[in-house]
Amino acid sequence: MELMGHSTYSPDLVPNNMSVMTTDELEKADAFLVVYSCIDKESFTRAKQILSRLQDMDLLRTRPIILVANKIDLARSRAVSAQDGKCLACTFGAKFIEVSVGINHNCDELLAGTLTQIRLQKDHNLVQILIGYILVSEYLKVMHINKTHAELYYGKPPK
């Protein structure tokens, strides 16, 4: 399946151990959307396993992660509460949203929210890079000042 030129994976197509996705493919991702069916406790368990694996691979720290509960229109068959989903999302530092693709509930919000989270993360990463550059620049200035200061007191070091 393709979404805006990028490959996507359906939980029905991905085995429990995510072996079809290589580390390189996962590292190229701008964001992770982990989707489970709120009428299927097993899909919720698989979502938890996927989040754990992504965390073990240290991929959640630098990318937005959104936990998505699907099929909320089937309230009478619900097996996973919204609270369970929110708690799992909180555990992994993820955003949480409930959708129903069948009746197009919150689908636009999910897409817009995903793009917003990607932009915010990219801006945050850029700020972190700039802060690192500034800190290194200031450190080098201090080192240069200290070297110059030492030369004033002790003379230039021999070559």
Domain residue limits at 97: 2-121
First-residue to last-residue Cα distance in the chain: 64
Whole-prediction pTM: 0.68
Contact 51, 43 (CB under 8 A): no
Average model confidence (pLDDT) across the chain:
79
Domain holding 83: CATH number?
Answer: 3.40.50.300
Residue 31 lies in a domain: yes
Residue 30 lies in a domain: yes
How many structural domains compose the chain?
A: 1
pLDDT in tens, 91-145: 999 999 999 999 999 989 999 998 888 888 887 766 666 676 676 766 666 665 5
Residue 147 lies in a domain: no
| Gap between the Cα atoms of 102 and 72, Å rounded | 9
Residue 132 lies in a domain: no
Q: Any idea what DSSP says for residue 1?
A: -
